[in-house]
Each structure stands twice: as C-alpha cells, then as structure tokens.
Amino acid sequence: MKKQKIEKRPTRARRAVKSVVIMLCALLICNMLGGGHLTRAMALRDGEQRYGVYEKTHEITSLPAENIYKTLRVTLMASENVTYCGTSHFYTLLGWQDDFGVPLDCSDGESIHAGWWVMGRDGGGRALFFWGRVDDAAIDRAEILQQRTVDVQSGEYVVETVCTTPLVWIEDGGHRYFLAGGAITQELSGDYGSDEFLFVGYDASGAEVLRYEIERQMSTSFA
C-alpha cells in the first residue's frame, strides 16, 4: 500500500516573507530604472554630487515639509568645508529621490554662512526655511528678521519686520549650525523678490554684535 504524500503548504509567515522579498526586488528594479534610492541618505548624496559637493558629509538635522508632500524633508548636511541643504521625499514606486539642494562654501574663513529657501506646491501649501553655520564665538544667540517695504514717504522707504524666527544652535565638530522654519501663511508669503532676510546675532549680554543680510537664496515650486 502506497503512502500518501502530504504536500506541505507554506505558512503564513513564509508567505509574508516571500511577499516582502518580491516587493523589495520590484522596488530595486524601479529604483534602477527611475533613478530612485532605497534610503533617504542615498538620495541626498546623489543630490550633493549633482550640485558639486563631492567631499564626504554627514547629516546634522532635518525638518518635515508635510504641507507640501507628506514625506518631504529638508535636511542639513555638513563637512568641514561645506554646508548643504537638500530636500528629498519618498515615491511609492521609485523609493527616495532628491529634489533640489543648495550648497554653501564654508572654506573662505568668513564667520557666518547662511541661506533661505522658499518652496511651494501648485495648489498646495508654502514653506520657508533658513539654514547655515556660525563660527563667531561672540554670538551667543541669534534670530532672523523678515523685513518688508510697506510704504515710501518723502522719498524714503518705510520698512517693517513682518516675522522674527529665533534660532537654535546644533553643535557638531566644533561648529554651530542651524535649520529653522516650516509652513508659512499667505500673509507671510509676500513678495520674496523684495523682502529682505537679516541674520542678527547677540552676545551674552543681549547686545547686537552682528547684522548680516542673507543673500544666498532658493525658490522652488513642486509640481
């Protein structure tokens, strides 16, 4: 009498593992074909090289820009000679992709390097971010003033501060960095072609020791 052969069916756990492997393989193929990446760090590194940053950097911090895309993040990267601010977000089929980035050359011996970045999405929200590195030991705290010309009287411009953004230091490798900002209202959107952004530094006594106009800027519109 022949013994009946019992076919072993895959367990639920094995089926789950198989599904994950298939999904990862599909994602890897899509990555290779579409220029995506498996991790956010890989996407940011790709962006750095596209904007001319070839020396090794590391992540300082990042902030979300969820009002533009749910997975969009603004990330501050740095090395001894460069500070890089880049955006990346996750595509369901393609994985992580870098979007845009702005490098700051910090090898010129200046005590402050800073930039501002306004971004928006068609039919969506808007966001404003500030980033940089400060090497002036006399500066204890700092803030960024958004100034706007609101009137002209007797041939002179009347300027108002429409927003003040306090900065929080992030110490890394003997340097102090900052990344601040987020979603903005329509009122604060204004005309970024004419608004000025000033970095104002104060010493431990509260006295102003530096007033610096941030000229490095970026404006991005996401589709």
- The string of DSSP letters for 3-57 reads PPPPPPPPPHHHHHHHHHHHHHHHHHHHHHHHT-BSSHHHHHHHHHHHTT--S--
Residue 188, SS3 per DSSP: helix
Element (H, E) at 186: helix 186-189
Residue 149: the pLDDT is 82
Look-up: residue for tokens 């895309």? Answer: 69
CA dist 67 and 151 (Å) reads 32
Q: Which two tokens stand for residue 198?
A: 């000033």
Residue 32: the pLDDT is 46
Residue 4: the pLDDT is 52
Residue 151: the pLDDT is 78
Q: How many CB atoms lie within 10 A of CB 26?
A: 11
Residue 143, SS3 per DSSP: strand
CA dist 159 and 191 (Å) reads 14
Residue 49: the pLDDT is 93
Laid out side by side, the sheet with 175-183 consists of 170-172, 175-183, 126-134, 112-121, 216-222
Give every residue of the chain whose pLDDT is below 70, as ranges: 1-10, 13, 15-35, 186-193
pLDDT digits 0-9 by tens, 70-86: 999 999 999 999 999 99
Give every CB contact of residue 38 below 8 A, 6+ residues apart in sequence.
Answer: 27, 28, 31, 95, 96
Residue 152: the pLDDT is 75
What does the longest C-alpha to C-alpha distance in the chain come to? Answer: 112
Q: What are phi and psi of 188, to 5 degrees?
A: -80, -15
CA dist 74 and 80 (Å) reads 20
- The residue length of the chain stands at 223
Q: How many CB atoms lie within 10 A of CB 59?
A: 14
